[in-house]
Chain A
Amino acid sequence: MSRMTTEQAIHQALAEEMQRDERVLLVGEGVATKRGDLVRNFGTARVRNTPLAEAIIAGTAVGAAASGLRPVIDLLFAPFLTYAMDALVNSAGKLRYLSGGQFEFPLVAMSMTGSGWCVGAQHNHNLEAMFAHAPGLKVVMPSTVADFKGLLKAAIRDDNPVLFFTDLALLHQEGEVPDVADHLVPLGQAAVRRVGADVTLVSYAKTVGVCLQAAEQLQAQGIAAEVIDLRTLKPLDEATVLRSLRKTGRLVAVTEASGLCGMAAELAALAVTRAFDALRAPVVRLTGPDAPGASSWVLEQAALPTAEAVVEAVQGMLGDAVVVREALATT
C-alpha cells in the first residue's frame, strides 16, 4: 500500500493511463501548467492547455473520441459543465444511439464540486444527478483515495462517456492505495464500507464519511448500520443495495446534492419498487436543500447532512426497537 492524497491518486491514474495507451490525451484550461511532468513525459500534443471555452473543449473531445482518441477533459468546477452541456448531453450521450451503434465516445469529463471551500453557487453545485438523467452517460463520484485512482483508470478505459466528479472536500484527504501494477475499480460496483443488519445507509462522495460517523454512533447504541458507498451513480449497483435492504429492511439515503429528482430519490424508488416486501420502515432521504450553495461558511455547513441527522433518522425508523436494543446493550 502507498499513502497519498486524492489529488495525487488522480495524477497517478492520469499518468499511468497515458503511459499505457497513447490514444489518451488530457485537455483543459491550465492542465499543462498544473501537470508539468505529464507534459514532459507525453508532450504538449497530448497534454494540452486550451482557451477558456468549455463548449469547444467538450465538443472537440467528442469529435476526437468518435475518431479513435480517448480524451480526458478537465472542466475544473462542476457548474462550468453547463457550458459544455450540449457536447456532453446531446453529442457524447446520444450520437452512438443516433448512429445505430456506429460510433463510440470513450471520453472522461472531470470536474470538482461540493461544499467546503465557501466558493458559492457558481463553483459549488452537485449536479451529478443531472448527468445521470441524461442517456448514454456514465457518472462516477468516488469517496476513497484508492477509488479515485482505480475508478479514474477504469473510466478512461471505458468505451463510453464518463462524468468523473471529485468532491473538493476530499481533494486533500490521505488514504492507502494498493501497490499493484494496475489498480482498477470497475464502474458500476458499489462498496460495502461497513457491515450491519439493522439499517442500510447509502451514500457517495463526502457524505459516505458522514454515514460512517453515524454508524459509529449508532453502534454505541447497539444499532448495526450497514454503509454502502455507491462510487458509480450510473450504472447504479442495484444488486448491492437490494441485497443489503433484504437484510436490514431499512434505508437511509444520504446525499449532499438536493433531494428533488436526485440519487436519493432514485434509491428510494429502487427500494419501494424492488424490495417493498422487505421494508420495515418508510425510506428516509437526507439531502441538501433545494437552494443554491451559499458562500457563507455557516450556511454552507448547514446545508450538509450531518451524522447527527442520520442517527436521529435511524432512531426514528427503529422506533421502539431502539429502546429495546439500548436496554439490551446496557445489560
Chain B
Amino acid sequence: MKIEDKKRVLREMVLHRRFEERCYQAYIERKIGGFLHLYPGQEACCNGVMEAARPGHDYVITGYRDHVHAIKCGADPKAVMAELYGKETGSSKGRGGSMHIFDGDKRFMGGYALVGGPFPLAAGIAKAIQLKGGDEIAICFLGDAANNQGVFHETLNMAALWKLPVLFVCENNLYGIGTSIERSTAVVHQHKRVAAYNIPADECDGQDIEIVYEAARKAVDHVRSGNGPYFLELMTYRYRGHSMSDSRGYRSREEEELWKQRDPIFILRDRLIKDGAMTMADFEALEKETDAYIENEVIKFAEESPEPRVEDLEKYVFADRATQLPWLTGKAA
C-alpha cells in the first residue's frame, strides 16, 4: 500500500473505531435500542478487503455487525448513526436499525440479521453482475459461525458451478456469540471446508491491514478476472461482547489482552510512525479531530433528526413505480 493510502485508511479506521465506541455510549444512554453489535478489533478486515476492491462500485453484503462496512462503502456516518437512533433521516429511514443498514446508492446491500442469509443473496447479486456483463464483483462478509448454516454449502456449490463473481470473506473472530469455534465447528480452519467445492481459498492474519490488503488483492483479481468465486478467511478478534448484553464469561481477559496487543489501528499507526510518515502527536490530534466530528456532526444530526411519522407505518412494504429507485430501474447510468 502507498503511504498516502495508508494514512487515509488510518484516518478511516480511527473514525470506524470511534464511531463504534460512541454507539456504545449512546446505547448506555438509551438513545439507541435494539441489538447492537460493534466492530472494534476487526477494522483491518473490512478496510483491507475494501482497499483492494472498489467501494461504491463493487456490491457488498454482510450480517448485523454492519456499520463499518456501510461507512466503508460510502454510506454517510450521519445517516448510519441516525438509523441507529431510529430516525427518519437514517439510511433505512429508521425501519431497519443497527442490524439493517442499507445504502443502495453505494451498492451496500445490507445489513442482515439472520445469520447465513446473505450467502445466497451474494450469489444472486453475482449472477446479476454476470448477466449484465459488468466488471463489478459481489463481496460477502460474514462470521465464522455463519458457515455452519446449510445455505453456506448450497451457495458455494452454485457459485463454483456457475463461476459467479463473488468473494466470500470470512471474518473469523473465533466465536459465534459465546460459543468458541472449536465447540461449534468440526473443521476450525474455514478455508479447508471450501476446498471441497474447488473454490480457491486462503487464510491470513486479519489484524495487519497490509497483509489483508495483499491477500485481498489476489482474491479480488481472481474474481474480477472472471475466474469464479474465492474464499478469504481473516483471523481476527472482536474486543467487545457479541452484542450489548454479553459479559464475555466464555473467554479469558488474558486472551483479550493478547489480541489487543495486535490492534489493527496501532499496527498501522506504529508502522507509519516508524516510516516517519506521522508522529504520535499527529495521531492524537487525529483522534481528537475524529471525536469532534462525531460529536458535532454525526451525533448532533442523529439527535436533531425527526422520528418517522406514524402515518407512514405501512410505507415501503410493496414496490410501486412512483417510488422506484434509479439503481433498481437501471436507468441511472
- Interface residue ranges, A against B (CB under 8 Å): 29-30, 33, 49-56, 79-80, 83, 117-123, 289-292, 294-299, 302-303
25 contacts between A and B (CB under 8 A): A30-B178, A33-B179, A51-B185, A117-B33, A117-B34, A120-B97, A121-B95, A121-B100, A122-B117, A289-B313, A289-B314, A290-B314, A291-B313, A291-B314, A291-B317, A295-B99, A296-B95, A296-B97, A296-B308, A297-B33, A298-B94, A298-B308, A299-B86, A299-B312, A302-B313
Bound Cα distance from A321 to B114, whole angstroms: 50
Bound Cα distance from A80 to B113, whole angstroms: 10
Residue on A nearest B178 in the bound complex, by CB:
A33
Question: B183 and A299: CB pair below 8 A?
Answer: no
Cβ-based interface call for B279 (8 A):
no
Task: Please give the distance in Å from B149's CB to the nearest CB on chain A.
Answer: 5
Question: A295 and B100: CB pair below 8 A?
Answer: yes
Bound Cα distance from A177 to B47, whole angstroms: 53
Given contacts A289-B313, A297-B86, contact A53 B148 (CB under 8 A): yes
Cβ-based interface call for B267 (8 A):
no
Q: Which 7 pairs between the two chains have the least Cβ-Cβ distance? A: A295-B97, A118-B33, A122-B113, A296-B86, A51-B148, A296-B94, A118-B34
Cβ-based interface call for B146 (8 A):
yes
Task: Please give the distance in Å from B262's CB to the nearest CB on chain A.
Answer: 26
Cβ-based interface call for B266 (8 A):
no
Given contacts A29-B179, A33-B250, A52-B115, contact A295 B146 (CB under 8 A): no
When distances are taken between beta carbons in the complex, the residues of chain B under 8 Å from A53 are 148-150
Bound Cα distance from A298 to B177, whole angstroms: 29
Cβ-based interface call for B112 (8 A):
yes
Bound Cα distance from A118 to B85, whole angstroms: 10
Task: Please give the distance in Å from B190's CB to the nearest CB on chain A.
Answer: 13
Bound Cα distance from A104 to B195, whole angstroms: 40
- Interface residue ranges, B against A (CB under 8 Å): 33-35, 86-87, 94-100, 112-117, 145-146, 148-150, 176-179, 183-185, 250, 307-308, 310, 312-314, 317
Contact of B308 among A29, A121, A299 (CB under 8 A): A299
Given contacts A30-B179, A120-B96, A297-B33, contact A52 B184 (CB under 8 A): yes
Question: B96 and A295: CB pair below 8 A?
Answer: yes
Bound Cα distance from A120 to B100, whole angstroms: 8
Given contacts A117-B34, A122-B100, A296-B94, contact A49 B313 (CB under 8 A): no
Residue on A nearest B307 in the bound complex, by CB:
A298
Bound Cα distance from A120 to B176, whole angstroms: 21
When distances are taken between beta carbons in the complex, the residues of chain A under 8 Å from B185 are 51
Bound Cα distance from A83 to B114, whole angstroms: 9
When distances are taken between beta carbons in the complex, the residues of chain A under 8 Å from B184 are 49-52
Contact of A295 among B34, B148, B250 (CB under 8 A): B34
Task: Please give the distance in Å from B188's CB to the nearest CB on chain A.
Answer: 13
Given contacts A119-B97, A122-B112, contact A52 B33 (CB under 8 A): no
Bound Cα distance from A319 to B248, whole angstroms: 58
Contact of B94 among A51, A289, A295, A303 (CB under 8 A): A295
When distances are taken between beta carbons in the complex, the residues of chain B under 8 Å from A292 are 95, 317
Question: A294 and B148: CB pair below 8 A?
Answer: no
Task: Please give the distance in Å from B122's CB to the nearest CB on chain A.
Answer: 17
When distances are taken between beta carbons in the complex, the residues of chain A under 8 Å from B310 are 298-299, 302
Bound Cα distance from A122 to B92, whole angstroms: 14
Bound Cα distance from A51 to B95, whole angstroms: 30
Bound Cα distance from A101 to B116, whole angstroms: 36
When distances are taken between beta carbons in the complex, the residues of chain B under 8 Å from A119 are 34-35, 97, 99, 113
Question: B177 and A49: CB pair below 8 A?
Answer: no
Bound Cα distance from A250 to B190, whole angstroms: 60
Task: Please give the distance in Å from A52's CB to the nearest CB on chain B.
Answer: 4
When distances are taken between beta carbons in the complex, the residues of chain B under 8 Å from A290 are 314, 317
When distances are taken between beta carbons in the complex, the residues of chain B under 8 Å from A33 are 178-179, 250
When distances are taken between beta carbons in the complex, the residues of chain A under 8 Å from B98 are 295
When distances are taken between beta carbons in the complex, the residues of chain A under 8 Å from B179 are 29-30, 33, 49
Bound Cα distance from A70 to B98, whole angstroms: 38
Contact of B145 among A52, A122, A123 (CB under 8 A): A52
Bound Cα distance from A50 to B148, whole angstroms: 10
When distances are taken between beta carbons in the complex, the residues of chain A under 8 Å from B177 are 29-30
Task: Please give the distance in Å from A118's CB to the nearest CB on chain B.
Answer: 4
Bound Cα distance from A74 to B154, whole angstroms: 24
Contact of B313 among A30, A51, A294, A297 (CB under 8 A): A294
Residue on A nearest B88 in the bound complex, by CB:
A296
Residue on A nearest B35 in the bound complex, by CB:
A119
When distances are taken between beta carbons in the complex, the residues of chain A under 8 Å from B94 are 294-296, 298-299
When distances are taken between beta carbons in the complex, the residues of chain A under 8 Å from B307 are 296, 298
Bound Cα distance from A288 to B210, whole angstroms: 51
Residue on B nearest A303 in the bound complex, by CB:
B313
When distances are taken between beta carbons in the complex, the residues of chain A under 8 Å from B113 are 79, 119-120, 122-123
